[in-house]
Each structure stands twice: as structure tokens, then as C-alpha cells.
Amino acid sequence: MIEQLIIDGERVDASDKGAFDVYDPSSGSVLARVAKATRDDVRRAVKAAHAALESKAWGGITHAERGRMLFRIAQAIRDRAEELGELESRDNGKPLRQARTDVQVAARYFEFFAGAADKIMGHTIPLGPGLLDFTVREPIGVSAQIVPWNYPIQIGSRGVAPALAAGCAVVLKPSSEAPMTALRLGEIGLACGLPPGVLNVVPGMGSEAGTALASDPDISQLTFTGSVDVGIQVAKLAADNVVPVVMELGGKSPNIVFADADLDLTVQGVATAIFQNAGQTCSAGSRLLVERGAHDALVEALSAKAKSMRIGPGVSDPDLGPIISRRQLETIEGYVQVGTREGAAVVAGGQRPKDSALGGGFYYQPTLLDRVTPDMRVAQEEIFGPVLSIITFDTIEQAADLANRSQYGLVAGIWTRDINKALALAARIKSGQIYINTYGAGGGVELPFGGYKKSGYGREKGLESLVSYTQVKNVCVRYPA
């Protein structure tokens, strides 16, 4: 059985009947076979989205009714939470409890933006007697969304929900490595009353379906999450049609730990920031900047934690699941080898697990690299795996310099009991999100998320994200004063 595309409210095969295999990274076995969208399929999806915008069924309804549809989707996701969580775990490999959390966060996106749908307002501008000036926010049009494999249902929902709340229609292109829950999201949308064409789902290869979507002349906005290199290509394609883009790209986010930090709290926060989803997170805390006086105790505690983590198939709910693919696994191995050649010391992990029961899965041990210097590749480049690079510092000025010595600026964590020191450092760090004595906030649905520098531009999550899916129209009226 082939999982079909969703275009114009229908489940359909690819126009050339093509399909591709999706693999379970826990075992390397085939999980599903999925229709592979062609350029023609993407074009048809964009046309369907345009037609939906012009229809009375979508373009002609009230903001409140859109909100009610989104509430229904949120509830339907929760009703199918166990099914979706298990599917996400098998498709992506992440531990089942993390996949279940992702499903709840996905539901929360639709719930949050359902409540915002009838509150997208303009302003009046005082010009004096005889003139009334006001603005309205209108849907920007067809939103193209290209979603990565690491958080398929969560990242898919964080873009789709605000786009629908704003009144846009969406063409969603999930990764070919983990498309399953995006397809279920499309099915849920239809079951909850979204008119045909409002949410289309076109899994396929980035080189064909992704390129076709980014370069389509009839999209009005593009949201992309992925690597810097691919993001640059996508932005260039969109720029040819003067299409605005929201880019959430890479990260090399630091956790900055001072000697006065709560050790137990810090160990848990730092470990979760790098080992969640096997480190396959753009905002992973992949650099540990630790004050010299705290180094030995912190590294010892982190090493003990890493060595105690249970590795296994995602659906067995381990502490650490597999890497998404053999190719990515080999990339991680290569970085650790480069790090040791450059002088870093492996104090935990650093290889594939020896357990024969893990079979053909793509596993890598949680890894700590100590004695890292700021210019090493493992300190500068995004590894996208469970590998933490550890660098020491002596002063707050040095900590700020090290934190900013990166092409990225997505997230930073600061760990200290001194709030004055924390806020002073936060003001100096060039990063889109900064956490103090925590890292992340349960999905952070309400918190604007995006990067400085090569971590991207534009903001997702929170009310700030609605700016990307609306455009402002100014109306000025002269009347007898």
C-alpha cells in the first residue's frame, strides 16, 4: 500500500505513479512506501491552494470560524495522540515519550493560534480632522512550507497553524526521510472541516518537489527549516519571484555555566539540551562553555549521566534513540574523528554502541568532547548529533566572546545563581532566544523563535509569527470635518 499525496482535498497518487521508501532508523527496515510528488503535483497543489483562497468556503468565512476549525484540529490531534506518537517515533526514531510530547505540542499550536484567529487586528492612525486612516491585516496568500525530518509533526504544526489562523492556504512539503505524521496532519485537517485545497501535503525529494515549491511563481510566502546551504538555495529560488521567506536554519548554541550554578539543575538541563532527539535539533545546546572552577565537577557529572543513558529503538522509550539515517550517522562519526585529530579528548561515548541487539539501526553513543578550543571544527560547525563540545572560560567577558564566536545565533543558555550577571551576559549575546537556568520551555509555543546571523531570519512561534502570514493594507478616507 502506498501512502498518497493530499491535494485539493483528495488522496491521490503521484502523477507519474512514483513512490519512495521510508525507513525506520531503529532497525533500518522499510516502514512505509510513500507517493513521490513531482513538479506537476506541486503545481497542482499550489493551484488548489489559490482556488481555496478565492472560495467562499475558506476566503469567505469569518475569522472566528477559522478559529473553530483550528480548535477542532487541536482536539483531533489529542484524540489520536497515541497513534501519532508511535508513528512519529517509528518514522523519526526518537524515544516514544519525546514523540508523545511533540504530538501534544502540535495540538497546542493549533489551540494557541485558534484563539488568535479572530484577534488579527489593524490600527487607526491619527491624521487630524477630516481624515480617517486605518490599517487591516490580510492573508498573505499561499504559504509554502518545507519541513525537516527531526520534528515533523511539531515543526509542521508550528507553521501550518498560524498560516491557517491568518487565512492563508498551505502547501506542505515534509522531508522524504520522515513524512508520515505530516500526511496524518493533512488527513486530520480534512476530517475537521478544512475546505479542499486549504492544506495540501506533497512529500517528495527536495531536489524535485522542494525546488518546484520554492520556485513556484504563485506562492506568496515560504517557510523553511533546514540547513544553511539548502536554505540559501531555497531563498534564491523564492527571491526570483520576490517571495518573502522565513528561515530557521542551523545552530551551535552555547550553554554557559558559571561556578556558582546549581550543579544538579545544570547537569539535567545541559544533558537534555544536547541529547534530546539524539542531538538532532537546530537549537541543541551543542557547546558547553564552563567557568574553569566548575569544569571538573560538571564534566564528571555529565560523563556519568551520558554513560548511564539507555540506547534503543524509539518505541521502546529509551533515553537515546537512533540517528535518522546511515549517512547522518557517518557524518557524526567523521566529526568526532576530526575533533580528536585536532586535540579534543573523548571523555564519554565517541563510537557506535556494541550491543548486537540494536541490529541494523543507526545508533551513536552520547558523546562528550573535552579540551575543545574555539576554532576547532567541532566548536564551529553543526554536527547534528549527540556530541557536546566543552570549552572553558575564566571571565564573563570571555564567556560573551566565546558565545558570539559562531556564525550562528539561535539559542543560548546561562546557568548561574547571580541574576545580575545572567542579565548582563544575556544583553551581550547575539541570539534569538536566551534562557536563564533552563533551556527550552516545553515546546515554547508562545515564545518567538528564530535566529541571528546564519541561524536565519523571521520569527516562528508566538503571536510574532502571524506577521509572516499577513500583509498590511492602509486605507485613508477624507470626510467633511
Distance CA 431, CA 282 (A): 13
Residue 250: which of 218, 286, 275, 223 has the closest Cα?
286
Query: Which of these, 289, 287, 255, 254, lies nearest to 269 by C-alpha position?
Result: 255
195 DSSP assignment: P
Q: What is the 3-state secondary structure (H, E, C) of 3-47?
A: ECEEECCEEECCCCCCEEEEECCCCCCEEEEEECCCHHHHHHHHH
Whether 248 is catalytic is yes
Task: Tell me the three cell numbers of residue 167.
Answer: 487565512
The H-or-E segment that residue 145 falls in is strand 142-146
Pairing label, strands 245-248, 19-23: unpaired
| Helix (H/G/I), strand (E/B), else coil: 51 | helix
Q: To 5 degrees, how large is the angle CA 415–CA 421–CA 426? A: 75
Spatial separation of the C-alpha atoms in residues 93 and 277, rounded to whole Å:
8
* Catalytic site residue from 3, 248, 291, 460: 248
Q: Residue for cell digits 521567506?
A: 245
DSSP, res 417: S
* 78 dihedral zone (left: phi>0; alpha: psi -120 to 50; beta): alpha
Q: Which residue in the list 168, 192, 282, 382 is annotated as catalytic?
A: 282
- Name the DSSP class of 316: G
What is the rounded distance in angstroms from the CA atom of residue 396 to the CA atom of residue 258? 9
d(CA 437, CA 299): 18
For the question of residue 476 being annotated catalytic, the response is no
Q: Kindly list the catalytic residues.
A: 248, 282
